[in-house]
Amino acid sequence: MSASPRLSIDVAAAAAELLPGLRASPPLAHCITNSVVTGFTANVLLAIGAAPAMVDIIGESGMFAQIASGVLINLGTPTPEQRAASLEAADGATSAGTPWVLDPVAIGALPVRTELAAELVSRRPTAIRGNPSEILALAGLSAGGRGVDATDAPDAAIDAARSLAGRWGSTVAVSGEVDLITDGERLIRIANGDALLTRVTGGGCALGAVMAAFLGSARDTDIDVLTTVAAASLVYTVAAERAAATASGPGSFDVALLDALAALEPGDVIAAARVEEGAL
Binding residues for its own copies, rule: CB under 8 A, are 28, 34-40, 42-43, 46-47, 51-60, 63-64, 67, 76-81, 106, 109-113, 146-149, 198-202, 248-252, 254-263
* Contact by Cβ (8 Å): 84, 58: yes
How far is residue 155's CA from residue 175's CA, in Å, rounded to a whole number?
A: 10
CB of 177 to its own copies, least distance (A): 17
How far is residue 10's CA from residue 275's CA, in Å, rounded to a whole number?
A: 9
- Closest to 127 measured CA to CA, from 196, 80, 82, 174: 174
Nearer to its own copies, 229 or 239 (CB): 239
Nearer to its own copies, 59 or 278 (CB): 59
Nearer to its own copies, 13 or 57 (CB): 57
Residue 274 is labelled as binding a ligand? no
Nearer to its own copies, 192 or 198 (CB): 198
Residue 54 is labelled as binding a ligand? yes
Q: Which amino acid is at 42?
A: A
CB of 215 to its own copies, least distance (A): 17
Nearer to its own copies, 145 or 184 (CB): 145
How far is residue 177's CA from residue 167's CA, in Å, rounded to a whole number?
A: 26
CB of 260 to its own copies, least distance (A): 7
Q: b/e per residue, 106-137, with b = 16+ CB within 10 A?
A: bbbebeebbebbeebbebebbbbbbbbbbbbb
Alpha carbon of residue 192 to chain centroid = 15
CB of 171 to its own copies, least distance (A): 26
Kindly write down the DSSP assignment for every residue of 155-203, as one continuous string: GGGHHHHHHHHHHH--EEEE-SSSEEEESSSEEEEE----GGGGSSTTT
Residue 175 is labelled as binding a ligand? yes
CB of 247 to its own copies, least distance (A): 8
Residue 25 is labelled as binding a ligand? no
Q: Which residues are annotated as a binding site for ATP?
A: 129, 175
Q: Cite the annotated binding site by residue number.
A: 54, 129, 175, 202
